[in-house]
Amino acid sequence: MIYPTTIYEDNHLLVVNKPVNWLVQGDKTGDPTLTDWSKNYIKKKYKKPGKVFLNPAHRLDRPVSGLVIFARTSKALTRLTALFRDQLIQKTYVAVVKSRPQELNGSLIHWLVKDKTKNVTKAFNRNKGNGKKSILRYKTLVYEGGHSLIIVKPETGRPHQIRVQLAKILCPIRGDLKYGYAVPNTDKSICLHAFKIELEHPINKEKISFSAKPQGICWKYHLNVINELDK
């Protein structure tokens, strides 16, 4: 089992690299969560008595790995929530997808509609009345063996946005059975990793950025390319 790792911490923030198959917050399964792990980390490191205030400012889907920002104070949480709402935080993902996009670099604009009963999102080329406009930018880095390694930068933050928009252009993420990939990964992951986050610190207003390299079977052939992204 791969465990979380801390990337950055100060009095207001904790940034953690989430492994695949960890829940950010609890659900009906009762499985361990990244939030609980992070609270225990803070509690033990700083010998804090009682409950630890720590809240995720955003989420990642369970089969997705990568960076998650936690707020250690209510003031930081309020400001981080506003930064995400106003789209002032830049997130960069890496993904391995089937085939390759028809245009190797570009932008995707769709209107997404989520079926809450099935927990599935559908993408449409036009707004059908209740869709949420969703935009992402992407760049193809490598194509080999019938798959592409791409960078993805979402400009909006919709549930399953990257997964469904890439599937819409016939490039489902490797391992993502929910959105059209035919074969599961052996570790139940999908090959999508939140690689980098750039933002203004919610308290001191300094520009900060964090990155975390992915782990697992998805990435063993691509680490050399991914390592170059952080230089």
SS (H, E, C) 85-143: HCCCCEEEEEEEEECCCCCCEEEEEEEEEEECCCCEEEEECCCCCCCEEEEEEEEEEEE
Q: pLDDT (tens digit, 9 = 90+) per residue, 75-106?
A: 999 999 999 999 999 999 999 999 999 999 99
**% of the chain with per-residue pLDDT over 70:** 100
Alpha carbon 134 to its chain's center: 16
Largest separation between any pair of C-alpha atoms in the chain: 56
- For 183, the domain range is 5-229
Compute the average pLDDT of residues 148-154.
Answer: 97
Structural domain count, the chain: 1
pLDDT band per the 50, 70, 90 thresholds, residue 129? confident
Q: What is the pLDDT of residue 221?
A: 87
Q: Taking the model in full, what pTM does it have? A: 0.95
CATH of the domain at 177: 3.30.2350.10
Residues annotated as catalytic (active site), given as ranges: 61
Q: What is the pLDDT of residues 50-67, one digit of tens each?
A: 899 999 999 999 999 999
Amino acid identity for residue 132 in this structure = K
